[in-house]
Chain A
Amino acid sequence: MRRMPVLQRGRAGAATDRRAELTLGLLAGVVLVLIAAMVVTVLVKAWPSFSYNGLSWFGSGGDVDTQLRVMRESTPLPGHGLLYFRAWPLIWGTLLTTIIAVGLGLVVSTFAAIFITEFAPGWLRRTLDPVIRLLAAVPSVIYGLIGILALAPWINEHLISNSRKQSVIYVVQLNGTDLATATLILMVMILPIMVAISANALAAVPASWREGSAALGVNRWRTIWRVSLRTAWPAIAAATVLATARALGEAVMLAMVSGSRGFAANPLDGLTFLFEPVRPLAASILQESEGLTIGPLAHTIYAMGAVLLVSATMLSLAGWAAKQPLKRYGIRA
């Protein structure tokens, strides 16, 4: 908050000032109410699905694709109501794509951030700046298009052998739109934000701390590893959390390249696991959106949305909390 004016000349001026403050405050309040309304209405609309299924909503049971189709066609499965839904394969798909992409992204972005702040020669650093900016700006539908038209066919042709396809043909079809493709592209999409935050925090580490370490005869890499990274850690954590939120909510690209089959890819399948299709929550919402006019399906879709909304909110909070320790060092990130 800015300091208050010392002098306020004239009553008219003060009144205008109050009015302006009130108007602006009101606008801000309206947006606040709108955002609160969003959480409430989505949860209310989602409630029938949650209350019908209870906690088993999050569990596994049956084929999730069939359950969604049944809702679309309004012909309930024998022994179940129309709202019967077990979301585990979708949740598992979301978890897999998000965790693997963020995990890989964390490693890559940390090295890239160190490279940018410490090792990159001037011309390369100046090149990396527009590069990161470009990667951040490419719309997700273009990432998806490249994935489905270029990367997936390539993976299908060169990385998935016929015998591998035959081995699972009765369970699931492998065609290149799979966990590996989805995760790779997702990682590229979240890299820019992670690199930007991490690099900024690394550059803000007080030079004297690193000089102190260097003066003790510690080599440059160890100095970076032990001093810089440790100081910048909260920012890297915050970057990771923000990137997780982004990965969680990515719908379009994943709808295009993840295979869109409600199949809980099994890590026990060895390498085949990487080539099995998944179906994340956000992508499912997009794909089922035509059924929003159908009552039970709409409740289910809003329930998926509610799960995403709550997770994204928690992650925002976590990201905020993760950044707090940095203030101790007076580093902004």
Chain B
Amino acid sequence: MAAGSSMLPAAAMRPPRERSSSWPLVDRLCYGLCWATGIGLCLIATAIVIFMLVKGIAYLRPSLFVSSPAPSLHQSQSGGFSDPIIGTLIVTAIGTVIAAPLGVAIATWLSEFARPAWLARAVESAIEMLAGVPSIVLAIFGLLILSQGFLSFLSQGAAQGSLGESFFDAGIVMSLLALPLVVGSTREALGQLPDRLREASYALGKTRSTTSRHVLLPAVRPGIASGIVLGMGRIIGDTAIVTILLGSTLKNEPVGHVPLLGTLRGTGSTLTSYVYNNSPAGEGNAHEKAYAAAFVLLMIVLALNATVTHLVNRGQAPRERRRLFLPGRLMGGSR
């Protein structure tokens, strides 16, 4: 892996080798602790992956991918997780479709226009705050807003006693989860562009909007893409919003008879809620199914992760590869 993809900075300039044997005991102890924590982190990650791999291989059957969940106390008869997989895809798609353009627009405005200044600062801190809001709070806020009468067309509506639970509703709130990541990543990329790009475009008599649209945004495409993929990862991994806003029913249950729209307005589940419900914490207590679904979930998340690494690698000029990198990527906030 190239250094450029690194979440961690390149090594600090090292002084020449020095034997730690001459150090006082406390210093040597701390040195040992450093090694211990470093190795420890590797071991934890390896343990998680191997554990999930072993359990996944033990319980995963191809049939699980194509059969719907069924209500049964026996794990051999409780079906597979085709519905949750479809659910995950739908929620992720809706969330991304909303968050991506909105995030890019906000990031462009923040870094290229940003007038009036007070509004820009307010938006900036609001996005930063949004990145820190627990998803469970986003979920209950979403429920509050989306169960209002005028938005009931997005779900089954309050008439049937349900409170704003549908794929639309879950996807919309999920987009709030992904938004800070898209904004952060796009802004970071825009900030790294050399000013000469802008100056050259202005010198040609182009306006700022044209410059942003035709020069800057195409140049930061990898940055935007990695923000979007990170956002997708966040959406796929979230359980709280699904539990509260998707109903986490056993199967995807469409409303009405229009094929696609019905599903989107109906309730359902995703892989995360499937894992949660099948764990001892949920009602299901079917740990084989939970492990199998969790394994699939982990593989999806890791694949997305690899995509981000790839995008980031490609997006950086070789000269800039050694740049420090960062937590913006992890946290979503801008700094």
Tell me which of A58-66, A141-149, A156-164, A263-271 binds B: A141-149
A139 touches B301 (CB 8 A): yes
B209 touches A221 (CB 8 A): no
B133 touches A312 (CB 8 A): yes
B258 beta carbon closer than 8 Å to chain A? no
Give bound CA distance, A267 to B298, whole Å: 36
In the complex with contacts A251-B240, A282-B136, A128-B202 CB distance below 8 A: no
B141 touches A38 (CB 8 A): yes
A285 touches B136 (CB 8 A): yes
B37 touches A16 (CB 8 A): no
Residues of B within 8 A of A210 (CB): 12, 15
Give bound CA distance, A309 to B111, whole Å: 28
Q: Which interface residue of A111, A135, A282 has the most chain B CB atoms within 10 A?
A: A111
Tell me which of A48-56, A68-76, A77-85, A186-194 binds B: A186-194
B330 beta carbon closer than 8 Å to chain A? yes
Interface positions of B from 9 to 61, Cβ below 8 Å from A:
9-15, 18, 20, 22-23, 27, 30-31, 33-38, 40-42, 44-45, 48-49, 51-52
A328 beta carbon closer than 8 Å to chain B? no
Q: Mark A233-248, 1 if CB is under 8 A from B, else 0.
A: 0000001001001101
B317 beta carbon closer than 8 Å to chain A? no
Residue in B45, B113, B131 whose beta carbon sits within 8 Å of that of A131 in the complex? B45
In the complex with contacts A221-B20, A245-B132, A320-B125, A117-B297 CB distance below 8 A: no
A149 touches B127 (CB 8 A): no
Residue in B40, B45, B137, B203 whose beta carbon sits within 8 Å of that of A309 in the complex? B137
B69 beta carbon closer than 8 Å to chain A? no
Give bound CA distance, A7 to B206, whole Å: 8
Q: Residues of A at under 8 Å CB distance from B?
A: 1-10, 13-14, 16-17, 19-21, 23-25, 27-29, 31-32, 34-38, 41-42, 45, 108, 111-112, 114-120, 122, 124-142, 144-146, 148-150, 188, 191-193, 195-197, 199-200, 202-205, 207, 210-211, 214, 219-222, 225, 228, 239, 242, 245-246, 248-252, 255-256, 260, 282, 285-286, 289, 292-293, 301-302, 305, 308-309, 312-313, 315-316, 319-320, 323, 332-333
Q: Residues of B at under 8 Å CB distance from A?
A: 1, 5-15, 18, 20, 22-23, 27, 30-31, 33-38, 40-42, 44-45, 48-49, 51-52, 102, 105-106, 108-115, 117, 119-120, 122-123, 125-141, 143-145, 161, 163, 176, 179, 195, 198, 202-203, 205-213, 233, 236-240, 243-244, 272, 275-276, 279-281, 287, 290-291, 294, 297-298, 301-302, 304-305, 309, 324-327, 330-331, 333, 335
Could you show 27 A-B contacts with beta carbons less than 8 Å apart?
Answer: A2-B198, A13-B210, A21-B109, A28-B120, A31-B179, A42-B144, A45-B144, A129-B7, A135-B44, A137-B302, A137-B304, A137-B305, A139-B236, A139-B272, A141-B294, A142-B294, A144-B276, A195-B41, A203-B9, A219-B22, A221-B23, A245-B132, A255-B281, A256-B280, A256-B281, A316-B131, A333-B327
Taking A127-B42, A239-B327, A305-B141 as known contacts, 20 extra A-B pairs with beta carbons closer than 8 A to each other, sorted by chain A number, are A6-B202, A24-B108, A31-B102, A108-B40, A116-B8, A120-B11, A126-B6, A134-B45, A139-B272, A140-B237, A142-B52, A145-B294, A146-B51, A148-B280, A203-B11, A250-B134, A282-B134, A312-B129, A313-B129, A316-B125
